[in-house]
Chain A
């Protein structure tokens, strides 16, 4: 499946954070979503073959990396209080319209 680390973390406003994800074996695409409390996930961006392949309505301080070994990162600079959310990683095959496998997420709290 998809594993994410860490499970929880607390950061101070203005700091930077890196979240990590290990994709399901065989999947070539990774997407990141932000889920605020009581809301549905919102698309941040997708990576395919280590290149960004689409971005949602998030500012450039949200950035990512995809590595050849099925791992990926989400980096957020200059943290704001509103960045507090559950961050979900989903892996899939580029050719699939349904086969998104989600991790359990990283709960980020910005104080």
Chain B
């Protein structure tokens, strides 16, 4: 079983809809949580980051962490065709030196 699980999709939504993405994990030592966006043939780009449990909002993006359930979410409001990409969750322990990624969810926002 992988440390971080993520539904591969694809997730297809109409423009303007809310995109809901999530990851589950098994390592309770993870304390730092990140969401990356990756366009085709590009490297991952950091979108959001949170520490421990709670919510964080930045423009159209909201990240949520529920450590008791080992579950993190990313919501994208008012989705645009330019949001079409693969979204990767990533996690890190306090003492660790590596990011552990989920497999990524491919999102397609249709005009």
CA distance A54 to B92 in the complex (A): 14
Residues of B in contact (CB 8 Å), total: 27
Q: Tell whether, in the assembled complex, residue A40 and residue B101 are in contact, meaning their CB atoms are under 8 Å apart.
A: yes
* Of A10-18, A62-70, A101-109, the one touching chain B: A101-109
Contacts of A100 in B (CB 8 A): 46, 99
* Complex: chain A residue closest to B96, CB-CB: A54
Within 8 Å CB of B43, what residues of A? Answer: 2, 88, 90, 102-105
Judge whether B71 is part of the interface by a CB distance below 8 angstroms.
no
- Whether B101 pairs with A41 at a CB distance below 8 angstroms is yes
Is the pair A46, B49 in contact by a Cβ cutoff of 8 Å? no
Chain B residues proximal to chain A, CB less than 8 Å? 4, 6, 8, 32, 34, 36, 41-46, 49, 51, 88, 90, 92, 94, 96-104
Inter-chain CA distance A48–B76, complex, in Å, is: 35
Contact of A56 among B34, B92, B98 (CB under 8 A): B98
- For the complex, what is the distance from the CA of A73 to the CA of B9, rounded to whole Å? 34
Flag whether A60 is at the interface (Cβ < 8 A).
no
We find that the number of chain A residues with CB closer than 8 angstroms to chain B is 26
Question: Does A40 lie within 8 Å of B6, measured CB to CB?
Answer: yes
Question: Hey, which chain B residues are within 8 Å of A102, CB to CB?
Answer: 36, 43-45
Chain A, range 49-99, C-beta contacts under 8 Å to B: 53-54, 56, 88, 90, 97-99
A39 touches B98 (CB 8 A): no
Residues of chain B contacted by A101 (CB below 8 angstroms): 46
B38 to chain A, nearest CB (A): 9
Other contacts beyond A41-B101, A54-B98: 5, CB < 8 A: A40-B88, A40-B90, A43-B98, A46-B97, A97-B94
Q: Please tell me which one of the listed residues B8, B32, B45 contacts residue A97 in the complex, with CB atoms under 8 A apart.
A: B32
